[in-house]
Amino acid sequence: MAQDKSTSDRMEKIVSLCKRRGFIMQSSEIYGGLNGCWDYGPLGAELKRNLKDFWWRRMVRERDDVVGMDGSILMNRQVWVASGHEATFSDPMVDCRNCKSRLRADQLPEKDGKRQCTVCGSLDLTEPRAFNLMFKTYVGATEDESAITYLRPETAQAIFVQFKNILEVARKKLPFGIAQIGKAFRNEINPRNFTFRSREFEQMELEYFCRPEGGLELLEYWLKERLKFYKDIGISSELLHIHKIPPEECAHYSKGTYDIEFDFPFGIQELEGVAYRTDYDLTQHQKASGKLLEYFDEETKQRFVPHVVEPSAGVDRTVLALICAAYSEEMAPDEKGKLETRIVLKFHPRMAPIKCGIFPLLKNNEKLVRQAREIVKILRPHMMVFYDESGAIGRRYRRQDEAGTPFGVTVDFDTIGENGPTNEGTVTIRERDSMKQERVPILELKSLLLDRID
Ligand code: GAP
């Protein structure tokens, strides 16, 4: 899709901020990188962890009807045969005979009724061929057919194949769910838009098992729950779009799918799928493994294969959405009152990598430094804090604005009683978005910040 200059500029600025501030960097950069793979630096790793922790809290810990699991990435090849991935998890591809590029057939523009190469413009392309997206690998010492398996392309299948074990140990009645967060791998033909389409990424998936008659209602329920989740991590509903997939475009086993889409600078794109997958997966594994994957209903004395509703979100895509939603540029006065551009990441405090910056007004005043370090010690066990004593205080605020830190605590001469007893033992808290400051007693700092970051 063509992008106008302002949207591509915005994306460029976001990518450059991510690298400059250590959110996201190219994998193996010193060797020229590896297409579709990314590393998260100190701030990115915190942001990602906050997102995953909050998802886990909402989807598992705060619920009676969901348990968690953590499955292996490598599984028996038969899992992927039974799920249909080995035969059908593919994208249609064409080769350009002119420039030799390999391209996704379904993403090409057409000219005069023919697909056109997006690299050189040629119309001389091969017929589409299926290209399986799973990374193939060998388990053990021999590289023969019997040793083949794949890096998992989704976390969901581990949940399906462990359904019976978990049902027994968790002692749950339907409806109940199994949740998992973990890496997935897809050999995407065309990784693009920064981390949006990667070859290695993480998913946060819930398989919510239910009676067949409950499926459609639960699809609506989970759509609403997931929209609430996005609101609670600070993604405004104005940036989200719900796309109901037309029945003819749904997977053959799905009785309904919603895509939750986000307004990225490069266009409106999928963030999460919420799909009613019927009893397809469990039935496939039951047939292929020969093991019963049924549920026994004590009340009706009936046995049946449960149906499933699956909210499946991408960690990396949500991190990117959080950064895009938070990125803001505004004019603000510097210390001398001159207007300058202020770059701020307006993260919800819950998601912010660093919750609080702590600054002694001057680094060469022993009392100020000692008090500021004391505050670090008080807060550190409870939240991610960052101590910074270098440079003018205004510069230090700006650095934290760019990192998305919602609060800045400054220890000044009032704090240490050098301006009289009135404000002794108090500090200023600066709020990132309004830049307003308030004075609070050090003794109240911890509880006040804890209230505001959750
Ligand atoms: N178990 C269902 C499933 O995997 P999907 O729509 O293929 O469904 C779910 O993937 C989510 O995983 C997507 O909505 C997206 O957030 C994320 N995802 C999928 N492919 C991705 C990729 N190549 N790079 C980053 N995230 C991806």
> What are 15-47's pLDDT values in tens digits?
999 999 999 999 999 999 999 999 999 999 999
For residues 157-169, give the mean pLDDT. Answer: 97
Ligand 1 close to Cβ of residue 194 (< 6 A): no
Q: How confident is the model at residue 378 (pLDDT cuts 50, 70, 90)?
A: very high
Q: How confident is the model at residue 3 (pLDDT cuts 50, 70, 90)?
A: low
What mean pLDDT is reported for the chain?
A: 95
* Cross-strand pairs, 224: none
Q: Which of the pair, 103 or 444, is modelled with greater confidence? A: 444
Q: Does residue 129 register a pLDDT over 50?
A: yes
* Cross-strand pairs, 95: 102
Ligand 1 close to Cβ of residue 273 (< 6 A): yes
Ligand 1 binding pocket mutation candidate from 201, 206, 269 (most atoms within 8 A of CB): 201
The C-alpha atoms of residue 453 and residue 407 are separated, in whole angstroms, by 9
Output the pLDDT for position 102.
86
Q: Is 199 left (phi over 0), alpha (psi -120 to 50) or beta?
A: alpha
Output the pLDDT for position 91.
86
Output the pLDDT for position 41.
98
Which residue has a Cα nearest atom 17 of ligand 1? 314
The C-alpha atoms of residue 78 and residue 288 are separated, in whole angstroms, by 8
Which residue has a Cα nearest atom 4 of ligand 1? 154
Q: How confident is the model at residue 6 (pLDDT cuts 50, 70, 90)?
A: confident
The C-alpha atoms of residue 433 and residue 445 are separated, in whole angstroms, by 19
Ligand 1 close to Cβ of residue 316 (< 6 A): yes
Output the pLDDT for position 62.
98
Q: Which of the pair, 2 or 202, is modelled with greater confidence? A: 202
Q: How confident is the model at residue 192 (pLDDT cuts 50, 70, 90)?
A: confident
Q: Is 234 left (phi over 0), alpha (psi -120 to 50) or beta?
A: left
* Cross-strand pairs, 397: none
Q: Which of 54-68, 139-153, 304-318, 332-346 has the lowest mean pLDDT?
A: 332-346
- The per-residue pLDDT for range 241-290, each reduced to its tens digit, is 999 999 999 888 899 999 999 999 999 999 999 999 999 999 999 999 99
CB atoms closer than 10 angstroms to residue 113: 6
For residues 124-134, give the mean pLDDT. Answer: 92
Ligand 1 close to Cβ of residue 21 (< 6 A): no
CA of 270 to the centre of ligand 1 (A): 8
Q: How confident is the model at residue 1 (pLDDT cuts 50, 70, 90)?
A: very low
Ligand 1 binding pocket mutation candidate from 154, 262, 274 (most atoms within 8 A of CB): 154
Q: Does residue 2 register a pLDDT over 70?
A: no
- The per-residue pLDDT for range 47-95, each reduced to its tens digit, is 999 999 999 999 999 999 999 999 999 999 999 999 999 999 888 889 9
Output the pLDDT for position 224.
98
Which stretch of DSSP H or E encloses residue 175? none
Output the pLDDT for position 106.
86
Ligand 1 close to Cβ of residue 321 (< 6 A): no
For residue 325, which of 370, 366, 271, 280 has the smallest C-alpha distance?
Answer: 271
For residues 408-428, give the mean pLDDT. Answer: 96
For residue 25, which of 34, 46, 276 has the smallest C-alpha distance?
Answer: 34
Residue 315 · residue 51 · CB < 8 Å:
yes
Ligand 1 close to Cβ of residue 270 (< 6 A): yes
Distance between alpha carbon 21 and the CA centroid of its chain, in Å?
18
CA of 152 to the centre of ligand 1 (A): 12
Which residue has a Cα nearest atom 26 of ligand 1? 314
Ligand 1 close to Cβ of residue 280 (< 6 A): no
Angle at 380 between CA 376 and CA 385, to 5 degrees: 75
The C-alpha atoms of residue 263 and residue 131 are separated, in whole angstroms, by 29
The C-alpha atoms of residue 148 and residue 213 are separated, in whole angstroms, by 39
Residue 283 · residue 290 · CB < 8 Å:
no
E strand spans, 316-425: 327-333, 339-345, 356-360, 385-387, 407-411
DSSP labels, 176-213? EEEEEEEEEE---SS-BTTTTB-SEEEEEEEEEEE-GG
For residues 224-231, give the mean pLDDT. Answer: 98
Which residue has a Cα nearest atom 19 of ligand 1? 314
Ligand 1 close to Cβ of residue 313 (< 6 A): yes
Output the pLDDT for position 252.
85
Q: Does residue 324 register a pLDDT over 60?
A: yes
Ligand 1 close to Cβ of residue 201 (< 6 A): yes
- Locate 446 and state its tokens: 């911890």
Output the pLDDT for position 117.
93
The C-alpha atoms of residue 429 and residue 375 are separated, in whole angstroms, by 12
For residues 330-347, give the mean pLDDT. Answer: 91
Burial class (CB in 10 A: 0-12, 13-18, 19+), 123: middle
Q: How confident is the model at residue 122 (pLDDT cuts 50, 70, 90)?
A: very high
Atom of ligand 1 at shortest range from CA of 153: 4
CA of 380 to the centre of ligand 1 (A): 35
Ligand 1 close to Cβ of residue 203 (< 6 A): yes
Ligand 1 close to Cβ of residue 205 (< 6 A): yes
Q: How confident is the model at residue 7 (pLDDT cuts 50, 70, 90)?
A: confident
Ligand 1 close to Cβ of residue 156 (< 6 A): yes
CA of 215 to the centre of ligand 1 (A): 22
Ligand 1 binding pocket mutation candidate from 203, 243, 315 (most atoms within 8 A of CB): 203
Residue 306 · residue 282 · CB < 8 Å:
yes
Which residue has a Cα nearest atom 18 of ligand 1? 314
